[in-house]
Amino acid sequence: MRFACDRSNCKSRRGSLASATLSAIARLTIIHRAILTSLLTARLVRRETHCANRGCQDRKQDFDVILHNQPSPATIAKASQKDRTRSEALALQRFVRQFVVEMPKTFFITTAIDYTNSPPHIGHAYEKVLADVIARYHRLKGDNVFFLTGVDQHGQKVQQSAAKAGVPPAEFVKEITQKFVDLWKKLDVQYDEWAETTNERHKKVVQGILQRLFDAGQIYKDKQAGHYSIRQEQFLTDKERGPDGEFGPEWGQIEFREEENYYFKLSQHKDWLLRYLDDRKDAVIPDFRQTELRNAVEKLSGDLCISRPKSRLDWGIELPFDKNFVNYVWFDALTNYISFAGYDPKPDNYEKQPQEFRDRWSKDTLQIIGKDILVPAHGIYWLIMLHAIGFPNEAMPQLLVHGWWNLGGAKMSKSAGNVIDPFVFADKYGAEAVRYYLVSDIATGRDSDFSEERLVQRYNADLANNFGNLLNRTLNMVHRYCKGRLARPRETRKFPTDVIDGYKQLVAEYTAVTAPVRPDVLIERSLYLASVFNGLIEAKSPWTLAKSSKPEDREFLEDLLYDCAESLRILALLVSPILPKAAQGIFDQLNWKMELSGKEERFSLADAEWGRLPDGHVVGKGVPLFPRIDIGDGV
Ligand code: ME8
């Protein structure tokens, strides 16, 4: 798999910009400095307000620290002229660093928004957990993350389900939406913004875009005549005919119909899309999905119907240029990705968009979708929509297409009655067990078969017997043989360093841009290292070493236990995107406090440097983090 972004370049450009800016500050007059200070303060306060509104507590604390660290006017007044100038310069430098050097680049990640016609199933859970894990990997690496997810509340399916339930659509979607919100809370999916397509601001953005495209002649009215399925509420083409040339029973009653609708000039952009896909080889990951999309675009013909007369569907966003129609339906759903990220529908190009939006949206924006909505929805409609409303090629997002969880090799579907309810499994085995299973037992991009038995097997083997066991036995032995105190290994240590090299290599791999999209690989590599340490414990039997009176045995025992504890500290960091609660638990049990780390974030990859547990560090007591699941317990 490849990944488009080249963050190292961005960072180095930012670095040189920073030193140029800092030396320019030294040459500023007092008045210039005052102006710059107030401008930067205003920007800082804006960001602070933004974070306070969104409840980003971590960032809010950062701002408090920065603001409080500014010298007070009283302190400056008391200082001598020389000190005053110096402290002002330092305060300015701190401000500038905050924005130019230390303000990490925003990594914008989105997921598909789920239909609110029925409660969430395990496929929805997988996609959101995958996105959450990728978002957490980026946070671990120090990126500023903006993670957007939400629900798709309009359309025919919802209108029909609400009618069936005998409640108004607005009430129906509210109830189902709550189930999604509850599930993300239960599964610890930590998003920054929540999209609901009935939101008024979103509606305004959709209407603004439609109006602009209409004014630009990209949307026109036309009459369609043909076979129409009453059950599925759609026109049928020859593609829907079976091998016998007839429409199958799934379409129900068919009638001939004529209907006026609005169309978007999709096919006019076909050549552009082909060129774009040829120029950007990782527009879609994995590779084979890009090939699939390219082939579909080759066959593209005809335009996209974007409306339904209100007489047959009124649960949607009204067309701004014709109140007898609502939008149907992809324009509404797809626009969520920008409407909830600060997009302004008025400016007709990307460069004129608000800074807040441009800070988030770039070619590195990662959009996670399932394989069924690549062609045509995201790969064709969405990319063409963005192009038509003025996004340059350099601001086209990257699509990460995941596979599906099936059941017994078959697609899950409500009608087949084989839908897996994620709440049931989260209640039975805990959120972390579900998160672990969902991202570790599927290779990103491929399908997998959901099996409760396998979930339990993997949990017991990987988490209870391997990882959890390493934690328990390490802490118990440190208490039993070393009074709970770790001794930092001496330079002359005899312990094999290749295991430690394995950690260093794994940490280095985490910084590769491709890494986060393959959490299945990262977790496997991490837990393999835990098994290496378990193997070492077996091979070196610390319980025998503890009985020996030889000083070298004692030294070896202390080194081994230190390394076990250190490996657990680093493993906690590396698995924290998938198992955030367990990682917290390991830190607590190891007694690894924020003060020791010296970092603002509890989980930071910069802390994964080998040997940071101090000499004499006292560890806490071991409490099983992954109690074994008894196979007899109803599996
Ligand atoms: O398609 N395994 O909503 P949706 C894995 N509202 N992923 C699965 C899955 C499975 N068994 N079943 C579904 C929609 N998904 C639209 C999207 S985006 C602007 C609008 C994935 O509720 C599916 O591939 O049918 C999609 O990415 C997501 O769940 C939502 O599906």
Give residue 109's pLDDT.
Answer: 98
Q: How far away, in angstroms, is 394 Cα from ligand 1 center?
A: 27
Q: Above 80 in pLDDT, residue 449?
A: yes
Mean pLDDT of the chain: 86
Give residue 72's pLDDT.
Answer: 43
Give residue 198's pLDDT.
Answer: 98
List, in order, residues 6 or more apart from 623 with CB less than 8 Å away. 585, 589
Q: Among the atoms of ligand 1, which is closest to the Cα of residue 127?
A: 7
Query: Rounded to an integer, what distance in angstroms lies between the CA atom of residue 352 and that of residue 402?
Result: 33
Residue 288 backbone dihedrals phi, psi, to 5 degrees: -65, -20
Q: Which residues pair with 223 in a beta bridge?
A: 260
User: Which single residue is written with the structure tokens 């059950």?
Assistant: 231
Q: Are strands 307-309 and 318-319 parallel, antiparallel or unpaired?
A: unpaired
Task: Provide the residue ranges of all domains of the chain, joining segments of one domain with +.
Answer: 7-99, 106-215+280-294+330-407, 452-634
DSSP readout, 247-308?
Answer: BPGGG-SEEEEEEEEEEE--GGGHHHHHHHHHH-TTSEESHHHHHHHHHHHHT--S-EE-EE
Decide: 566 in ligand 1 pocket, CB within 6 A. no
Average pLDDT on 452-469 reads 98
Q: Identify which of 111, 113, 122, 127 to mutate to test ligand 1's pocket (most ligand atoms within 8 A of the CB).
A: 127
Query: Is the CATH number of domain 452-634 1.10.730.10?
Result: yes
Q: How does DSSP classify residue 413?
A: -
Q: 384 with 390: CB under 8 angstroms?
A: no
Higher model confidence: residue 346 or residue 78? Answer: 346
Decide: 374 in ligand 1 pocket, CB within 6 A. no
Decide: 151 in ligand 1 pocket, CB within 6 A. no
Nearest to 270 by CA among 235, 301, 246, 243: 301
Decide: 333 in ligand 1 pocket, CB within 6 A. yes
Higher model confidence: residue 36 or residue 272? Answer: 272
Q: Identify which of 124, 152, 439 to mutate to test ligand 1's pocket (most ligand atoms within 8 A of the CB).
A: 124
Decide: 585 in ligand 1 pocket, CB within 6 A. no
In this predicted structure, which of 21-35, 526-540, 582-596 has the lowest mean pLDDT? 21-35
User: In 429-540, which ranges are E strands?
Assistant: 448-449
State how far the alpha carbon of 616 is from the alpha carbons of 225, 358, 479, 484, 562, in Å: 82, 49, 13, 9, 10
Lookup: tokens for 133: 């894990």
Cβ-based neighbour number of residue 199 at 10 Å: 16
- CATH H-level, domain 106-215+280-294+330-407: superfamily: HUPs (3.40.50.620)
Q: How does DSSP classify residue 227?
A: E
Q: How does DSSP classify residue 100?
A: I
Decide: 462 in ligand 1 pocket, CB within 6 A. no
Decide: 126 in ligand 1 pocket, CB within 6 A. yes
List, in order, residues 6 or more apart from 205 with CB less than 8 Å away. 335, 338, 339, 343, 345
Instruction: Verify cis geometry, omega within 30 degrees of 0, for the bond prior to 119.
Output: no
Q: How far away, in angstroms, is 93 Cα from ligand 1 center?
A: 47
Q: Among the atoms of ligand 1, which is closest to the Cα of residue 337?
A: 19
Radius of gyration of the chain (CA): 28
Q: How far away, in angstroms, is 146 Cα from ligand 1 center?
A: 21
CATH fold match for the domains 106-215+280-294+330-407 and 452-634: no
User: Which single residue is written with the structure tokens 């312990």?
Assistant: 495
Query: Rounded to an integer, what distance in angstroms lies between the CA atom of residue 587 and that of residue 471?
Result: 11
Give residue 415's pLDDT.
Answer: 75
Average pLDDT on 475-483 reads 98
Give residue 91's pLDDT.
Answer: 53
Give residue 635's pLDDT.
Answer: 55
Nearest to 439 by CA among 138, 128, 122, 126: 126
Query: Rounded to an integer, what distance in angstroms lies between the CA atom of residue 591 and that of residue 585?
Result: 10
Q: Which residues pair with 195 in a beta bridge?
A: 150
